[in-house]
Structure 1
């Protein structure tokens, strides 16, 4: 793209130069064009120096803007997901608590422990569970829903004390979009319901929950936890997946603990919902995890799509007051990122963050590529402007030198044109006069008279040192003779020459000598003398 743009600009410059050479151009116009290209060349050199030193083109600020937008969008989305799942989890807990209490009253049972060894009643309750869990799974964007009772089908079974009856549904096709008719796996529960509903049993299906894999169940039972809360991420039992769980306790109207229900947010859901996003500075990855004592505990949170394999590693936040970005290291790689807070139920004491990260190595590679392209573009710009300045300089000086030779030789050049309007008018005028005749004031064309007056007025603006150098030109001396005559260095002469050219509105020594000769031919050389 940038190469095409450069070709287009070169084409425009060639067209501009063609138009510049077409027809007669005034001295002033060519001088302005020359100064313009020289100024652009100087500006390009300045930009090149600043770009090479890194003083301009602040890529860190640009990547911060990119990550800031991405982080704000992702944090808002994650917060929305967590709030929706939390709200539906609490609503599901209220509905299931009412249904359990109704079933207990319907069967004349005073406590939930009375459901032990009651498979028929447990089946009825699980059917109620399924209806609520299935609805919640369809309207939320969770990867699973579950509900478990503080009761078991068979208290005589081995290790019966750690098993609890309940239903666990998991999505077969996890995604962040709401699915009206998703494919569902039956992960836990009495299989009669799966057969009745036409559901496929999960390949890791079990009849009941192992509460050793749900330690929060025991914590809710013992501590009488009344409000819902999110867990840290952990491995789902009998699965290779990790997930965070929102546990909502189930309580009766009299405060009796019935069990726990909730929603599952798996790492697969996170990866599909928040994939790696390619930016001009590298792949942006999303992490949701607590920031504890300067450590981003990835093992306790969830990771979106990633080009790294973090597993249970943590990222250390490195203090860098000179950077607009957060800087993280994990002992293997380093990352640049932007972090945003996220509120998670039950995690008030932890500082949970949504962080968007870019690998530092890839970021530096991309920045180097950007800077190289910019420096190359500026270099080509300088080359083009310098070339145009050189060409215009030659086109500008050469006609003046030829015009001076025409006047000095006094030959017939009736068909000759320098391409500079002022010189062409002067030559035509000189050719119209007898060679032996001195030019009169009244015979001068208006353009030439204006040029002489402007030159004469400029003489008055010269400093004493500048006029001292100028006077040597009046006497017919060359530039190389002036240092010895004026007892100054050549560099000083050149400096005075530049000031003289600027104040007299000319651009070269040839043009200066041409105008002095013109004053002499017009008998007005005294106008160039002044008392010092």
Structure 2
């Protein structure tokens, strides 16, 4: 309705003007171009149908994605395995020192439940450092002992710690929040880690046989190194935990050969989706699945999925069998669905490992009912026709522009050369533009004169302010002890990097409460840094520190 009112207003204006309204010409141009494009698009759909990519491009896409993602899974699993072994060695050495300090052996730990909580608390720093230095969903430590040996279900209760990370692919500690899923609550409070709603004191391993299996396997293979004894679980969800994941399990072995627990790293469901989702720039509804494999059987129910649109928040609850090849792609068939794509087998364990015969696989696939739509079409013909239509549209646009927009070009030329005059065009819009520009020129000239006067007034004010500033600085310089000021400047280099961060934030005008939040300090830690800064720089207060820094800025010297 508004457009009709505008059109009617323009029509009435044109009746009282001898020229032609330019908007009518522009409307004619766009209507012609739109009609042509709509006709061409309709013809294209009728003749060919825009249904996706051809078979060769589809195979190339799946080959590239499978090579990339399977390589990433293999590399990441190897890197995490090495990290897990290193963490196990560090934790075992720390526990051995604890055992020696309390005069017990690792084998005697279950008989000393009162020592378990201090033992776990002593490992928190190692676990936090391990989690914050790598991409992972969490880290854990489980001891083959319980703090409540007389409690009900004590045979399935195991003491330990499980830390979770809010951003599993981040390797930075800033902005990443750690959570506490299992372990002594006091240890979490001592290290500023927030307890999850699913927190509990100990692990319930009644449904997690792999913990016992890893320890039993290590006890049966005492001569093997940890690099042969690590184990990757299939998709598991710990009891009372809301998120599933793969767990890397490495046995904890003391110096005397006693296996007293398990530690490891979690690849959470969220982390898997963030790292291994296929590219959606070419095809939609493609997903990745990583799972144990047995011959031509992919144990999808034990794996994890990363997808774009299809199965993003679900998982396949059945095993898939590799069957025929369709359109050059492997088919994975189950009772509830058939999928097509590619699959690559992975070896996660080295030769000599008790788990060396276990095989994993990575598959990149899409639902089979979507495959036909993806392979239909003649891409080359489509590209040629589209290019031809684009060139034809360009030619038509150039001709129409030259024919109907020529008056605009003449008007622009007259504006550039400043030769336009009021009412000097046969077109109403251009005449109005000339009138508007003439009025603007007059207003601009008056404004320029006013600004020039303001500039002169401002320069006089600036000179006066600069003179007053120099007087203030000279007064402050006279109040400062020259020797103390010189000592302040010389001792700046003695500040540690962390003290420099605190010093810079004070210079930026931050308060103590703000600095504690920015640097993630405790109030006591900030007081400690404040005392060091004041002692090193020879000042007694923040006011004196900022006074010296202001003098240095006035002299053109940067404080740090």
TM-score tier after normalising by the smaller chain length? 0.5 to 0.7
Count of aligned pairs between the two proteins: 330
TM-score, length of structure 2 as denominator length: 0.54
8 Å contact 2:54–2:374 — kept in the other structure? no
Q: Deviations over 1:63-90 (max 9, x none)?
A: 1111111111111211122112111111
Structure 1 partner of 2:270 = 268
Among 117, 135, 142, the residue aligned to 1:141: 135
Aligned equivalents of 1:192 and 1:177: distance in 2?
Answer: 26
Aligned equivalents of 2:163 and 2:173: distance in 1?
Answer: 15
8 Å contact 2:55–2:376 — kept in the other structure? no
Structure 1 partner of 2:348 = 344
Please say if 1:59 is aligned against 2:59. no
8 Å contact 1:117–1:152 — kept in the other structure? no
Within 5 Å, which residues of 2 pair with 1:324-363? 324-345=328-349, 347-363=355-371
Please say if 1:364 is aligned against 2:384. no
Please say if 1:212 is aligned against 2:176. no
Please say if 1:166 is aligned against 2:171. no
Aligned equivalents of 2:200 and 2:79: distance in 1?
Answer: 29
8 Å contact 2:53–2:376 — kept in the other structure? no
Structure 1 partner of 2:26 = none
Among 308, 315, 321, the residue aligned to 1:316: 321
Among 229, 246, 250, the residue aligned to 1:244: 246
1:279 deviates by 4.3
8 Å contact 2:180–2:193 — kept in the other structure? yes
- Secondary structure at 1:260 match in 2: strand
1:208 deviates by 1.1
8 Å contact 1:225–1:249 — kept in the other structure? no
8 Å contact 1:147–1:259 — kept in the other structure? yes
- Secondary structure at 1:146 match in 2: strand
- Secondary structure at 2:245 match in 1: strand
1:213 deviates by 3.6
1:240 deviates by 3.1
8 Å contact 2:348–2:359 — kept in the other structure? no
* C-alpha distance 201-232 of structure 1, shift in aligned 2 (>3 A): same
- Secondary structure at 2:293 match in 1: strand
> Structure 2: 5+ residue runs without aligned partners?
1-32, 38-46, 222-228, 393-560
8 Å contact 1:276–1:283 — kept in the other structure? no
Please say if 1:185 is aligned against 2:179. yes
Between structure 1 and structure 2, the one with the greater Rg is 1
Structure 1 segments of 4 or more deviating over 4 A? Answer: 369-373
Q: Deviations over 1:184-233 (max 9, x none)?
A: 11111111111111211111111111222431232234341551111111
TM-score, length of structure 1 as denominator length: 0.56
Structure 1 partner of 2:168 = 175
RMSD: 3.3
* C-alpha distance 105-77 of structure 1, shift in aligned 2 (>3 A): same
8 Å contact 1:281–1:363 — kept in the other structure? no
1:177 deviates by 3.4
Please say if 1:73 is aligned against 2:81. no
Q: Deviations over 1:406-431 (max 9, x none)?
A: xxxxxxxxxxxxxxxxxxxxxxxxxx
Within 5 Å, which residues of 2 pair with 1:68-147? 68-119=63-114, 121-147=115-141
1:280 deviates by 3.3
* C-alpha distance 68-93 of structure 1, shift in aligned 2 (>3 A): same
